[in-house]
């Protein structure tokens, strides 16, 4: 009986260790967006992106608070939150999905020229959409660096842009995500 | 006079649009709390705490969990007495490392909300403060 209990405890402990070693996480990722039109460039950064990847299953998530995006101009930040993103009602944006080719990337030790394909659901402004995001996963001495660039069309997420400022905001907004995910102990 | 008014009407919105943010260091905090207290408040009732704290200047004191540096200066600090439930503060202006002493820190910043979701793989919960400034007591 003692042996059975010891074996069970050992299996459970080993399971927990491998679970933790497979997950990489950060609270200090960066997400920025850039909207370029001939009239005005709009740019904002959020250095508090949270992200986690499980390299054994490919499960991948990132999330950010809308109000943590910082603009140089105070009024622009206010308009972004109140008029477009309605961040009091929809305070968060996130992606939850799976990196489909994670096993291949892991086996090759995350080569710099390989593209990870993350498929899943992106939620912005309370609207959930199926998306496919190309990403780069790079092995770093401190963990795994994730870099992705994708476009967001405000209309897809029911973000209403008034006619008066339509020319000031690009149809597709480029979003950049960069995060160094460290092993969860 | 007409010309002056016309110029003012055009220039005022442009001037407002190009204005930066107020210095948090010069503003008074609406709430003074400990790091554990504000995180627990969001964990207990996210909606109620959001209505109370978001967009307000909050002064938070607690143990330093991690400092982030850029070019030798501190750009952000995580305050927490446990590993997963934290207050994450981004400084409005980088802070010299010499200004931070001991294990505890007091910071005031604009609360931008709480990230934490039991259905997510992302562990714990984080209260975020932006445009923070170091409070020297």
Reported as a single tens digit per residue, the pLDDT across A132-181 is: 999 999 998 889 999 999 999 999 999 988 777 777 777 889 999 999 99
Q: Total domain count for chain B?
A: 1
- The pLDDT value recorded for residue A14 is 46
Rg (CA), chain A: 20
The answer as to whether B11 is a domain residue is: no
- Interface check B130 vs A, CB under 8 A: yes
- Interface check B76 vs A, CB under 8 A: yes
What is the mean predicted confidence (pLDDT) over A41-52? 94
d(CA B31, CA A161): 35
SS3 for A146? strand
CATH number, domain containing residue B76: 2.40.50
Task: Provide the residue ranges of all domains of chain A, joining segments of one domain with +.
Answer: 23-183
The answer as to whether B109 is a domain residue is: yes
Tally of helices (H runs) and strands (E runs) in chain A: 3, 8
The answer as to whether B99 is a domain residue is: yes
- Interface check B115 vs A, CB under 8 A: yes
Q: Tokens in use for B85?
A: 């439930």
- Interface check B63 vs A, CB under 8 A: no
Count CB-CB contacts under 10 A for residue A168: 14
Over residues B17-48, the pLDDT tens digits come to 568 899 999 999 999 999 999 999 999 999 99
Selected residue of A67, A82, A95, A165 to mutate for chain B interface (largest B Cβ count, 10 A): A67
The answer as to whether B8 is a domain residue is: no
Cα torsion B58, B126, B51, B93 to 10°: value is: 40
Under 8 Å CB pairs connecting chains A and B tally to: 78
- The pLDDT value recorded for residue A6 is 54
Report the gap between the CA of B2 and the closest CA in chain A (Å): 26
Q: What is the CATH number of domain A23-183?
A: 2.40.128.110
Q: Tokens in use for A151?
A: 């476009």
* Selected residues 41-100 of chain A with any CB under 8 Å from a CB in chain B: 47-48, 50-52, 54, 59, 61, 63-68, 70, 72-77, 88, 91-92, 94, 96
Could you identify the residue written with the tokens 């795994």?
A: A144
């Amino acid at each position: 009986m003692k042996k059975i209990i010891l074996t069970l405890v050992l299996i459970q402990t080993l399971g927990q260790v491998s679970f933790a070693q497979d997950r990489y996480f950060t609270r200090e990722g960066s997400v920025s967006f850039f909207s370029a039109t001939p009239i005005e460039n709009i740019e904002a950064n959020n250095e508090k992106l949270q992200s986690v990847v499980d390299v054994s299953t490919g499960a991948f998530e990132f999330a950010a608070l809308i109000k943590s995006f910082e603009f140089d101009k105070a009024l622009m930040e206010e308009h972004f939150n109140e008029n477009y993103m309605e961040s009091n009602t929809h305070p968060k944006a996130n992606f939850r999905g799976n990196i489909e080719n994670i096993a291949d990337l892991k086996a090759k030790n995350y080569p710099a020229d390989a593209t990870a394909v993350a498929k899943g659901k992106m939620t912005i402004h309370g609207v959930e959409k199926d998306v496919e995001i190309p990403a780069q996963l790079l092995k770093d001495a401190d963990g795994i660096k994730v870099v992705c660039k994708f476009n967001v069309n405000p209309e897809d997420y029911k973000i209403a842009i008034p006619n008066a400022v339509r020319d000031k905001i690009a149809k597709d907004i480029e979003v950049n995500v960069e995060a160094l995910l460290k092993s969860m102990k | 006079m007409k010309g002056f008014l016309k110029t003012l009407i055009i220039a005022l919105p442009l001037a407002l649009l190009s204005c930066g943010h107020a210095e948090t260091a010069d503003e008074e905090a609406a709430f003074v709390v400990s790091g554990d207290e504000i995180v627990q408040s969001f964990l207990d009732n996210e909606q109620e705490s959001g209505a109370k704290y978001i967009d307000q200047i909050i002064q938070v004191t607690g143990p330093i969990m991690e400092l982030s540096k850029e070019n030798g200066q501190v750009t952000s600090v995580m305050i927490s007495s446990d590993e997963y439930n934290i207050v994450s503060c981004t400084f409005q202006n980088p802070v010299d490392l010499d200004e931070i002493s001991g294990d505890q820190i007091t910071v005031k910043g604009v609360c931008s909300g709480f990230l934490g979701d039991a259905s997510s793989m992302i562990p714990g919960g984080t209260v975020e403060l932006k445009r923070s400034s170091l409070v020297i007591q």
